Amino acid sequence: MISQKSAQAVAKQGVKAQVVSRQRVVRCHAVAAAERPPTVKAQGPIVMNGQVLHSISQERLELVQTLGPYMESQVLPLLRDPTKSWQPSDFLPESSDPDFLDKVRELRTRTQQLPDDYLVVFVGDMITEEALPTYMAMLNTLDGVRDETGAAPTPWGRWTREWTAEENRHGDLMNKYMYLTGRVNMHAIEVTIQNLIGSGMDPKTENNPYLGFVYTSFQERATKISHGNTARHALEHGDEVLAKICGSIASDEGRHEQAYQRIMDAVYEKDPNGATLAFADMMRKQIVMPAHLMDDGEHHGKTGRNLFADFSSVAEKTGTYTAMDYADIMEHLNKRWRVAERSDLTGEACEAADYLVKMPDRIRKLAERSNARKQKNKGQTSPFAWVFDRPVELV
């Protein structure tokens, strides 16, 4: 039971929240009506093949370029010394050991308990990790932070290369482990990886570091959640080694999440209006997953459906990554960047804050309706080339 005193405190908090919300809306509309044109002319945007490019203003570009010392003190320390980091070989049978084949047999016996839906989700995550060249290229499209030479000693250049180096271990380890299990069709997986890297990705970040670092702040947390859940599921299926692998990768993603969110912390500190507008812009576009263009060259022809959509359905069904997780991530970022509490927003940014605060609950309601509709197709399956065309439940 809640005490009378606690109830009164909760009521006061509710009233206070309503007042703050109303004040924000009133201030928002008042400032928007009187808003003057920006004093700094934007460099863009440029539109090419229907895509917006270089949308950041000169003023905001210069702001980003002042963040070098902050990167040095607050972001680069999150990286790990390679000599002290885990490496893929730490989790795999040592090929030079006399009992290597015995250890591989033990691994294969252990992984026989992994169901096909788990394998599909793990492989989809692995393919996502293996498309790392695309993600490094994406970071190097961002104005003001790209590695201009390929070996630039700037904090931004160092971050991009060393982040990539840490991430490289993930796909490397996952790929080798799956190969040793004998449970998956490596050729079909390799075709998918090559196709995905060749296709690239379109996160709609417009060469704009504000948008780019909102995207990575969200995406790294999503990846952490997915790997954390594959760790939990591996343990449930009796593979402790695979659970440790997924847990170690999730831990890396957690550090990387913190790094990108710290960058946006600094942007919010210096330019709360611009940061809020960028956050809202990316959420209106929706955060696309890095592997949204995956294609194995077979799936659509066999099923008439999109491979990434079917992989996502299996991830949703198994509880590995869901629409509810998407809403939770957005709510987390709202709290971290104090979107609902800010009194330093004006004009469009104030309206954007209201949109951001309301969106998580809207997403949850849409997800509930979608799940209710999916029940009509309960038991629907699809073959996946990754598991030798064995049928896997989508709903």
Q: Which residues are catalytic, by number?
A: 86, 129, 167, 170, 220, 223, 252-253, 256
296 by Cβ neighbours in 10 Å (0-12 / 13-18 / 19+) ranks as: buried
In 271-336, where does DSSP find H-type helix?
A: 272-285, 299-303, 307-317, 323-336
Residues composing the chain: 395
Which helix H or strand E contains 47, and what residues bound it?
strand 46-48
- Dist CA 23 CA 296 (whole Å): 52
The greatest distance separating any two alpha carbons of the chain, rounded to the nearest whole angstrom, comes to: 78
- Dist CA 136 CA 161 (whole Å): 8
What is the chain's Cα-based Rg?
Answer: 23
Do residues 88 and 172 lie in contact, with contact meaning Cβ atoms separated by under 8 Å? yes
Taking CB atoms within 8 Å and a gap of at least 24, the contacts of 338-343 are 339/276, 339/279, 340/17, 340/20, 340/21, 341/20, 342/272, 342/276, 343/24
DSSP structure class, residue 392: E
Do residues 130 and 116 lie in contact, with contact meaning Cβ atoms separated by under 8 Å? no
